[in-house]
Amino acid sequence: MNSQIEDSVLVSSYIQGDEKALEVLINRHNQRISSFIYSKVLDRDVTEDIFQDTFIKVIKTLKKGSYSEEGKFLPWVMRIAHNLVIDHFRRNKRMPMFEGTDDFNIFSVIGDDKLNAEKQLIKNQIDSDLKSLIEELPDDQKEVLLMRIYKDMSFKEISENTGVSINTALGRMRYALINLRKIIEKNNIVLTN
């Protein structure tokens, strides 16, 4: 019978105090979420930890009443899991362990595609985070920053395109960077890989 109940109905029931509804949701999506996490970290213990952290975040969000993605429960949970996987890699900056002799290192011979995939995943998340942060800047600062960083334009070209002096373009860039730092510090955002 449980398989007939929509996720959104179970979420509503849980928010109204029905603990069993959450259990049904976890059991329903356990395999898919665990498989997704495992495909990224390739470690059962880490997978279990991230899975639990994912549902701790889900529970906190639901209890706070902050959940608003009706009918999209699984994609929402998957996004939380994805972000926690990235946090895991950022925290650990991990390299695969290999006991080699002093005169031979296997990593000088082979590449580790899995690590490159991890780095790409982290880079994609950083790019996405950065674009969101840039959107918070005032329009004139955002315009100069996008031209300089993403379009690789010189300050002379920016000046000509925006109709302001080079010094004004430089000033806007400076303030854009200062404001980005403030936003990053205020929100405790980590933008490193």
Question: Which domains, from first to last, does the chain contain?
Answer: 2-92 (1.10.1740.10), 122-186 (1.10.10.10)
Distance CA 112, CA 95 (A): 9
The token pair that represents 186 in the structure block: 């205020």
Look at residue 105 in the predicted model and tell me its pLDDT. Answer: 45
- The helix or strand, by DSSP H or E, that contains position 19, with its residue range, turns out to be helix 19-41
Q: Band the pLDDT of 136: cuts 50, 70, 90.
A: confident
Nearest to 59 by CA among 22, 7, 96: 22
Mean pLDDT of 114-130: 72
**Nearest-10 Cα torsion for 153, 158, 160, 162:** 140
Mean pLDDT of 113-126: 69
- Asked if residue 53 has pLDDT above 90, the reply is yes
Greater pLDDT, 120 or 192: 120
Task: Give backbone dihedrals phi and psi of 64, rounded to 5 degrees, phi first.
Answer: -75, -15
Look at residue 96 in the predicted model and tell me its pLDDT. Answer: 39
Look at residue 65 in the predicted model and tell me its pLDDT. Answer: 82
The pTM score is 0.49
Q: Band the pLDDT of 77: cuts 50, 70, 90.
A: very high
CA distances from 28 to 1, 2, 73 (A): 12, 9, 11
Distance CA 156, CA 150 (A): 16
Mean pLDDT of 167-180: 89
Greater pLDDT, 132 or 22: 22
